[in-house]
Chains A and B, each alone.
Chain A
Amino acid sequence: MAKNLPPTYDKIAKHEVFPETTSDEKARYNFLASLNKHLAHVSQGNKIAYENRVKPKFEKEKGRTFQSKNEVDDAMSDDPHYQIWSAMRRSTMEMRQQAGRSLTYRQGLKLKEKVEKLNAQKPNSLILNDDVKVPPYLLAVDNHLMPGSYHTELFEGDVSNAANYDGGLFVTTAGLLGKYSDGGGKAMADWMTTTYPDFQPKRILDIGCGMGHNVIPIARRYPDAEIIAIDTGRPMLKYGHARMVALGIENVTFMQAEASNLPFEAESFDWIQTTMFLHETGGKSIYNIMKEVYRTLKKDGITMHIEQPQYTDDMSFYEQWIRDWDAYNNSEPYWSKMHDIDPKDLMEDCGFDRNEYMQIGAKAINDLDDGTQKADEPEDHGRSPIWNVFGAWKR
Chain B
Amino acid sequence: MSKENPEIDYISIASNKPKGKRPYFFKDPAIERVLNITMAIGMELAVVRERVDSLERILEAKGIMTREELENYVPANKDIADERQQWHSEYISRILRIVQQEMEELENPDKTLQDIADDIDKM
Contacts and interface: CB of A to CB of B under 8 A. Distances in A.
Interface string B46-83: 11001100100000000000000000000000000000
Interface in A64-122: 77, 82-84, 86-88, 90-92, 94-95, 97-99, 101-102, 105-110
Contacts, number: 161
Interface in B66-102: 90, 94, 97-98, 101
Interface in B97-112: 97-98, 101
A4 interface: no
Contacts of B31: 87
A101 B20 CA distance: 19
A99 B51 CA distance: 16
Contacts of A155: 7-8
A136 B123 contact: yes
B13 A94 contact: no
A101 B22 CA distance: 19
Given A98-B15, A101-B13, A328-B113, A334 B121 contact: yes
Which secondary structure dominates where chain A touches chain B? Answer: helix
Interface in A297-348: 327-329, 331, 333-334, 336-337
B97 A94 contact: yes
Given A31-B46, A87-B25, A105-B10, A24 B51 contact: yes
A142 B94 contact: no
Contacts of A82: 25
**Chain B: number of interface residues, binned into ranges:** 35 or more
B26 A87 contact: yes
**Chain A: number of interface residues, binned into ranges:** 35 or more
Contacts of A86: 23, 25
Contacts of B51: 23-24, 27
Nearest to A87: B25
Interface of B: 2, 4-5, 7-8, 10-11, 13-20, 22-26, 31-32, 35-36, 39-40, 43-44, 46-47, 50-51, 54, 90, 94, 97-98, 101, 113-114, 116-117, 119-123
10 contacts: A84-B25, A87-B26, A90-B25, A106-B5, A108-B10, A137-B123, A140-B119, A140-B120, A284-B123, A337-B121
